[in-house]
Amino acid sequence: MRKIISLGLFLGIALVTTQALAGMYRWTDDQGNVVYSQTPPPDNRPVKPIAPPPPPAAAPQEAREKIQKLQQQLDNTAAERKKKRQEQEQAEQEHKARAEKCTTAKKALQTIKERPSSTLWRLPDGSYQRFTAEERETQIDALNKSIQKNCP
């Protein structure tokens, strides 16, 4: 069965190839129309033979390999662009977070410096506390470090 299919395929390709290689003819008929045909005119008119197109520059396998190589390069470039875009988005998010920390630290430092030392401060757990002079200075130092770290 395989031999029959192979033989049929071979004969089909041979038939198509021979017709393609037969050549083309160009002539003008009695009404002045230009005629293109694979057979010469029946009445020995002057004809202009048309050469078949040149064969492909590369073998099909080479062309396929070249296309695959170009596709791989395109995929690599797309992956690099995606990675750069993700890195840029991450850098923007980090910059935004640092700007928020900078603003928060500046406001907190200003608040600590403006209020008297006897101020009752609300802690993150919801409780309230008065800072001693030493704790107040520690808070001011921590806020100054945060400002230096996060503010441009």
Q: How far apart are CA 105 and CA 99, in angstroms?
A: 10
| CB neighbours of residue 45 within 10 Å | 13
Q: What is the pLDDT of residues 63-113, one digit of tens each?
A: 899 999 999 999 999 999 999 999 999 999 999 999 999 999 999 889 888
Top-confidence residue, 141 or 26:
141
Half-sphere exposure of 84 (CA within 13 A, CB side): 6
| CB neighbours of residue 143 within 10 Å | 20
Top-confidence residue, 133 or 83:
83
- Residue 11's pLDDT band, with cuts at 50, 70 and 90, is low
Q: How far apart are CA 65 and CA 121, in angstroms?
A: 72
Strands 48-50 and 24-28: antiparallel
Residues 51-64 have a mean pLDDT of 81
3-state secondary structure of 141: helix
